[in-house]
Amino acid sequence: TIFSLLIGLVGCSTSQSKKEGEEKSKDQAQQIVLKAGIGSSLQNSSHGKGLVKFQEIVEKESNGRIRLQIFPDGQLGNDKSMMEALQMGTLDITIPSTAPIANFTKSFMVFDLPYLFPNEEVADRVLDGPAGQDILKTLEDVGMVGLAYWENGFRNITNSKRPINSIDDLKGLKIRTMQNPIHLETFKAWGANPVPMPFNEVFTALEQKVIDGQENPNTLIYDAGFYEAQKYLTLSRHFYTPFVFMISKKTWDKLSPADQELLKKAAVEAGKYQRQINRELSEKYLEEMKKKGIAVNELSTEEKQKFIEKSRTIYAKFENEIGKDRLKKVLDEIAKVQ
């Protein structure tokens, strides 16, 4: 693979009291190249901009010893297949949405619940607090190490048929969802006809009208060009999707504690930047999309309430799978930080 911890690190850490020439080769021996893949672009997405920020921090803090090789635009696959590559150790870093993590461990499914977080600030505090961090740790059981939460954001519905002003307007529409059982069941509860599909197949499916619509945060709707194949955008903000910055456990276990610390700090710091820029871009891209002709509408408070009520059954339906304790912990934390 292109990725490598170019030369094993074990030998290096034990090489004490060596002559200067050997010291130099020790530095060279510690060169680390990490391969990172994401599904969106480097130019327009907050995802990509955040990853470039991470790269800058890491290269600076390590004096160029640790380098990053970035593969954007789903070049190395989708969220699910990139996570599989992390498990195998053929890819080092990826930053998927939480939703497809359900294919590996159920602990993140709590974040897939509809209308869970009231706003971004509460999401930040819960994710960065004890409840969120506990969940992050569970990734190690499945061969990945979670370093930080970033933001994909509140998801909105687009489609090519009609504006969604009421829950009835969703009826029968073929809406692509992420590959996640809660998302699937929620859209069924709202009367839509959900079609789970990996992100990198959505544009073509919209263009060819295999599906009527999809749902994503504004930043990605713009970045992926979905608006070109869609007429209506409804600001439903029905799920809040965190991104998880993760590294292969195989890679992680080969790193020195100091390098682990460096990467963790960089992921958190770059994440702060990414969240901020995501929020700015979300507004900016919404305006751009309006200019390009997509019709944008809000859901009235009354109608939004109907969406919330119709999806209450989802909380009960999945509480055992999520784990009642975990669900309670997250809900308590949300109530506490508000």
Binding site for ligand KDG (CB under 6 A): 38-40, 47, 79, 96-97, 152, 178, 199, 216, 220, 241
Residue 336 in tokens:
């506490």
Q: How far is CA 194 from CA 6, 109, 175, 252, in A?
A: 45, 18, 5, 37
Residue whose CB is less far from ligand KDG, 230 or 241: 241
Sign (positive or negative) of CA dihedral 301, 302, 306, 309: positive
Q: How far apart are CA 199 and CA 201, in angstroms?
A: 5
CB of 200 to ligand KDG, least distance (A): 8
Any idea how long the chain is? 338
Among residues 5 and 173, whose Cβ is nearest to ligand KDG? 173
Residue least distant from ligand KDG (Cβ): 39
Q: Give the separation between CA 126 and CA 137, rounded to whole angstroms.
A: 15
DSSP β-bridge partners for residue 32 = 5, 66
Nearest distance in Å: CB 158, ligand KDG: 11
Query: Whose Cβ is closer to ligand KDG: residue 30's or residue 230's?
Result: 230
- By C-beta, is 74 or 132 nearer to ligand KDG? 74
- Nearest distance from residue 56's CB to ligand KDG, in Å? 20
Closer CB to ligand KDG, 241 or 278, in the complex? 241
Name which of 9 and 235 has its Cβ closer to ligand KDG.
Answer: 235
Q: CB neighbours of 269 closer than 8 A, spacing ≥ 6?
A: 53, 57
> How many angstroms separate the CA atoms of 194 and 288, rounded?
28
- Least Å distance, CB 178 to ligand KDG, is 5
Q: Choose between 180 and 251: whose C-beta lies nearer to ligand KDG.
A: 180
Q: Which is nearer to ligand KDG, 131 or 178 (CB)?
A: 178
Which amino acid is it at 5? L
For residues 230 and 212, give the distance between their C-alpha atoms in angstroms, rounded to a whole number.
Answer: 8
Q: Spell out where 38-121 has E strands.
A: 66-71, 93-94
Q: Taking the complex as a whole, how short is the minimal distance between the CB of residue 211 and ligand KDG, in angstroms?
A: 12
Q: Exposed (0-12), middle (13-18) or buried (19+): which is 237, by Cβ within 10 Å?
A: buried
Q: How far is the CB of 79 from ligand KDG (least distance, A)?
A: 5
Q: How far is the CB of 173 from ligand KDG (least distance, A)?
A: 17
Lookup: tokens for 49? 């901009």
Query: Distance (Å, rounded) from C-alpha 285 to C-alpha 269?
Result: 24
Name 136's Cβ contacts closer than 8 Å, sequence gap at least 6: 146, 147, 148, 149, 244
Tell me how far, at minimum, the Cβ of 256 lies from ligand KDG, in Å.
30
Total Cβ atoms within 10 A of residue 161: 16
